[in-house]
Chains A and B, each alone.
Chain A
Amino acid sequence: MINRKPFFIELELTYRCSQQCFYCHNPPRDLKFYIDDKAPKPRSVIEMNELNLSEWISAIDQIKRLDEKYEGIMDVVVTGGEPLLRSDLEEILSYITRQKLSHMLLSSGEPISDDRITKLLESGLEKIRINLTSHKYVFNMQSLIMHIKNEVVKKINIAKKFKDFGVKEVGGNIVLTSYYLDFLEEIVELAYKSNLDWIEVNSVYKVGHGYINQKFIVPDPNDERTIQEKLKKLIEIYGEKFIQNYVDTDILYSRIPIPTNWGEVGLVIVPNGDIYPGSEATSIPLSKLGNIKNDSLIEIWFSYPLLNKIRSLSFLGEPCKSCEVKKLCRGGFRFNAYITKNDLFAPDPSCPIVKDYIGKS
C-alpha cells in the first residue's frame, strides 16, 4: 500500500503549556465538541501520564529503525503542548541528534533563559519554529490591542535570541485568528527585520479547541478579500520563501472539505505514547493506532488496517465513491465525520457535494 516512510513523526512530549491558544489542536479535557457561543473557552487539555525519558529514548530508537530501513525523507517534529516545560527536553533532543535524525522544535519560546538556549544548542538544535500568536491576554478587553502587540514583540524577540545564539533556522508561526488579522503586516515586518528565516501563516483549523472556539477566532467572512489581499501583498514584498502561506479561505470558511492525509504524511505520538494518524486525530479516540511502548511503529505505518483502508479509499461510500475528485479530496476531513456522525468513515458533511447528496436522498 505504501513503500516509503512518513514525512514526519511528531512527538507531543507534553500537553502542559505556557500559552492560551484558542485554536490549540490538543484534545480538550472532556472530549466534548460543541461550538461555544458565549465566550472563547480557555485551553483545558485531557490529562495523561507522560512518557519518561527512557520511554521517549525507546520511542526514538523505533523512529530510527523506521528511518534507516525505508525509502524517503523523514523529520522528527518535537512539540507539545509546550516542549520547553519538559526539563529533559535537552536529553531528548541530544538523543535524536545522536541518532542523526533530522529534527525541528515547535515551541512558544516560553519559558526560556539564555542558559536554556545554550543547552538546547548543545543538544543539537538547528531548527525551531516559534509560535508568535497566542491568546493569553484576550480576556483583558480593556487594553487588548496593547497586549496583543506586546505579546508578539516579546515572541519575536525570543525568536531573534535563538537566532543570535546561533540556531541555524528560526521561523515564526502566525495562526490567522480574528485577533491577529489587523496586525499581520506589522508582525511580518518586525519578524523580517529581526532576521527570522521564515514566517508561516496558517489558517485556523476547526479541530480541538479550534472547533469549540471557532465563532470567536475565525476571521469574519466579510474580511475574506482583506485576508487574500494582505497575503498577496506580503508575498510580493517578502517573497514566497519568507512568507509560507497556508491560508485557503475556501477551507477556512468550510466551502470545500479538507483532504484526508492520514497514512500519507505522518504519525503523531502523544504524551502517554499513544499513536495517532494526524494532529487533529488526537481528539478522536477511534483513530488511535497503538502505543509506542507496546506496538511497532513500522508495523503501524505500513500495515495498520485503518491506515490501509484510508489509503485505498475503500472506506468511501456515496457520494464520495463516485466523485471525480476523490483521489484529491480522499474523502474529506475525518474529524468532521467523527464529530457529526461518530463514524470515522462517514462522508465529510462540510463538502457541498455531500450536502447536496444528503438533501436529495
Chain B
Amino acid sequence: MSETARPRLGRTPLLLLIPGVIAALLLVVPMVALVLATPWGRLASQLTSPAVREALRLTVLASVLTVVLCLLLGTPLAWLLARVDFPGRSLLRAAVLVPLVLPPVVAGVALVTALGRTGLVGRPIDQAFGYTFPFTTTAVVIAHTFVSMPFYVLSVEGALRSSGEEYDAVAASLGADRWTTFRRITLPLALPGVIAGSALAWARSLGEFGATITFAGNFPGTTQTMPSLIYTQLQSDPLVARTVSMVLLSLSIGVLVLLRNQWLTRP
C-alpha cells in the first residue's frame, strides 16, 4: 500500500549505491566464506565433544549473567547520568564509556591491576577474605560486564533522554515520589532502549575474548568460553576452530533473529 503512495524520487545515485554495495560485501563475504569453509560433517561430533559443550555452557552462562548485571547495575547508572544533575556528571559519562574504545586486552590488564591478587582492590579482598578473582568463573562474568556495560548504559541513557523529563515532572506534580515515578513512568517509557541495550550487551559478551583471557585465564569448565576455545583450537587444528566458530555464529544469528522478530523490527 505504501509502495504505491510513495512519490517518485528518481534513480538511486551511483555515489551512494557503489559504496553501499562495497560495505555490504565487506560484511557479508567473510561470513559466507566461513559457512562454505565449515566441515559440516564434523559439526555433530564437535557439538558432542566435552570441550565444546563446556565452553558453550560457560559462554551462555556468562552472557546471561552479564545482561542481568547490566539490568541491575547499568539501569540505575544510566538513570543517574540522564536525570540527576551532579558535579562531574559529564566527566563520569565519559569515563564509563571508555571501555567502548579500549582494546579488550587493555581492559583485561586494567582489571588485573584493580582486581588481581596484587591489585588495588584485589589485594585487600585477598587479605580480608582469602578470595582471589583471577582464574574463576566470577572473573569471566566481571570481564564480560566490564566490556558490555557501556553499550547498555549508552543505549538506556539515550532512551531516557529522548523519552523526556516532562512525564516525570507530571508524575511528581501528581504526588508520586521519585522511585514510584522511575518504576511506573520512566522505565516503561525507556523499555525499547533497555531491550536494545540488553541485546547489544549480550552480543558483546558472546564474542568477548581479550579481557577474559587476560584477566580470568583459560581453563576448560571454569574460564574457557567459546571465543577462547576457538583461539586455542586455531593453534592446532584450524578445521576444528572453523566448526566451533560456526556453532557460535549459529547461536548469535539464532538469537538475533529471535530478537528481531520480537522487538527489533523498525517501522
Same complex for A and B? Answer no
